[in-house]
Structure 1
């Protein structure tokens, strides 16, 4: 059965409580089932049925999986509003606190992470900025890792989305918009790179595109066991669709420059070249429109990336994460646009 997980679709809550041992067993041949954290996309919220079905499928594919659904409010309505309005830098800081305080997640040796649409680049931001608890495997579907060059249109009667559009018209590079409108904070027009590098509140920072590089971002991302990026072949919602694979697209000619031919990879600003060279970076595609996924695709992905892990492998990953970091995150390495009170 085809399950549609659209950008504005039903996506839901469900806490699957399965205990995870806080310590690794001494037998290196034993395995551990890691918890799974999911961050949904724009216009979705944690209280709808779609995400509960995904959580149930994850637990069915890999029995013993504890699933945690990230939320930015106590109600579904508030959580959905936070996908449009908010300061992404502050939202990620909140999620860092949320995951570190969750007993099962914080006692596990590591967690797996699944990001739908914008939730994918936000989870990558979590890894780069705190990564506590540490992520073992990161999987993203249709995420805008290299930003968007167009904003999607709103459905008639969607007042939250229409309000976001009205705010955009005030100027995407203003401090007010960059501190309040979520999609604007990963907007990246190759024809406006100077404005982007100067004013971007989120994406330019976590992509390490400014002159001053945050070396800790690279160190943390390079500790991943696997980073798998999925692009939707017929995606017309997230523009350009190739952003899901960290590619650059010339808006005028449509020419696609793959990640491996870009400075972000060649100079290894984020550790992506290191991951790729070690066979830990996967580029994949699935048929269909943005966030149209089948149970078959999801189940196959869950089994490939979120199955039981050898304890010896976890030990090696944990050792790599014990190296001291030199630049503790306190907002961003280049720019933090503070949210203005009263909005």
Structure 2
């Protein structure tokens, strides 16, 4: 069992609602201290690191028999979280010799958690690009695998599109907001840290302040505010190649993936809309879902997703339960299917079917 959660379920919590229940000291920050946190993050970001867990075998990772795995966690989480360590241990036990890096954006868990709420995503990705390229194990491996939890999934996609050195072989995302969010989860009454981000997102999401400092604002996308989104979005409009001038490098880098698997949580009420995990668009008024294959991003292949799909490399999966409540069974199956040794995962896996309903 991963962790101590009942029914073999681990909550790799990236949800604000879960964050509210943890009793972190940030829950009682005042509004002025939130502003100080924003300033502090500029300093913390210069020390962005990806941490290699000590029990993995560097030799196996470097010789290419087992690709290293990079994990980017989500909102309200941090690299010191026990659940993430247990996910890394599960990855290693499933595929022995896996060298695991947990991306972090500060030197301690508190700072790393703060950076999931406040920071410039473009700068954070650039710093992670530098760190992964400089890592002696990751940089000498033939490629790496990547696992993104919630917002970490679209951030890893940003890494692939903007640098991809070392290159990603397989990308797996759980509950990620690839088409953005159109609502923000309500915060607990006394959680001023969360409420500071919430207020900025609700009242000033298109301001330069919010778009350069409030992380969820940088992947906020409401179809009713599309013009403002295209003009002001610091992150998502760019990496989704939605603006008039397309970045061909983004398309080529995504199309270079061996496999891109997206998991949507069936009962997700935290990531709104949950169908964003599949690049789908949802009409907030009618609830009508426009699937990926009916959208210009697919038809005109802005991101190489159509190419991946036609090559059988784009997988749409569902996972039971609420946002980021993952069972060991689900995780292990994903690790077996997508992160197996290169000589095994590169073969055509029997029973690997693209779920057409997800398009």
User: What TM-score do the two structures reach when normalised by structure 2?
Assistant: 0.82
State the match for 1:188 in structure 2.
221
Equivalent position SS for 2:173: strand
1:59 aligns with 2:88: no
Question: Which residue of 2 is the match for residue 3 of structure 1?
Answer: 10
1:87 counterpart = 2:94: no
Q: Give, in angstroms, the shift of residue 15 of structure 1.
A: 4.0
Return the alpha-carbon distance in structure 2 between the equivalents of residues 191 and 51 of structure 1: 36
Tell me how far 1:5 sits from its aligned partner.
Answer: 1.9
Give 1:312-327 correspondences, 5 Å limit.
none
Q: Cα RMSD between the aligned structures?
A: 1.8
Q: Which residue of 1 aligns with 2:233?
A: 200
Tell me, yes or no, if structure 1 residue 121 matches structure 2 residue 154: yes
Asked if the contact 2:275/2:281 (under 8 Å) is kept, the reply is yes
Deviations 1:88-133 (A, max 9, x none): 0000001001111111111111000000000000000000000000
Aligned residues: 306
Helix, strand or coil at the partner of 1:3: strand
Secondary structure in 1 matching 2:318: strand
Question: Quick check: 1:259 aligned with 2:292?
Answer: yes
- Displacement of 1:6: 2.2
Structure 2 runs not aligned, ≥5 long: 1-7, 23-50, 348-359
Q: Is the 8 A contact 2:61 2:98 kept in 1?
A: no
Partner of 1:153: 186
Query: Which one of the candidate residues 136, 142, 165 is aligned to 2:198?
Result: 165
Counterpart-to-counterpart distance in 2, 1:158 and 1:49: 22
Secondary structure of 1:260's counterpart equals helix
Corresponding position: 1:216 with 2:255: no
1:23-38 equivalence runs, <5 A: 32-38=65-71
Counterpart in 2 of 1:226? 259
Pick the aligned partner of 1:18 from 40, 49, 57.
57
**Alignment partner, residue 310 of structure 1:** 343
* 1:128-139 mapped onto 2 (5 Å cutoff): 128-139=161-172
Distance 2:66 2:93 in 1: 13
1:246: how far off? 0.6
Distance 1:36-1:167 versus aligned 2 partners, 3 A rule? same
* 1:28 match: none
Cα displacement (A) at 1:156: 3.9
Mapped to 1, the partners of 2:115 and 2:196 lie a distance apart of 13
State whether residues 20 and 33 of structure 1, in contact with CA within 8 Å, keep that contact through their aligned partners in structure 2.
no
How far the C-alpha of 1:159 sits from its partner, in A, is 2.9
Structure 1 residue matching 2:204: 3-state secondary structure:
coil
Q: 1:301 aligns with which of 334, 339, 350?
A: 334
The corresponding residue for 2:314 is 281
> Is the 2:56–2:99 contact (alpha carbons within 8 Å) kept by the matching residues of 1?
yes
Relative distance call for 1:113 and 1:16 in structure 2 (3 A) is farther
- Check conservation: 2:62, 2:137, Cα contact below 8 A: no
Distance in 2 separating the partners of 1:81 and 1:257: 34
For the residue of structure 2 that corresponds to 1:103, the secondary structure is coil
Secondary structure of the equivalent of 2:110?
Answer: helix
Structure holding more helix per residue? 2
**2:131 aligns with one of 98, 101, 108:** 98
User: Which of 70-79 and 147-156 deviates more?
Assistant: 147-156
Q: Distance in 2 between matches of 1:54 and 1:65?
A: 12
Match of 2:176 in 1: 143
Contact persistence 2:10–2:328 (CA under 8 A): yes
Distance 2:285 2:120 in 1: 31
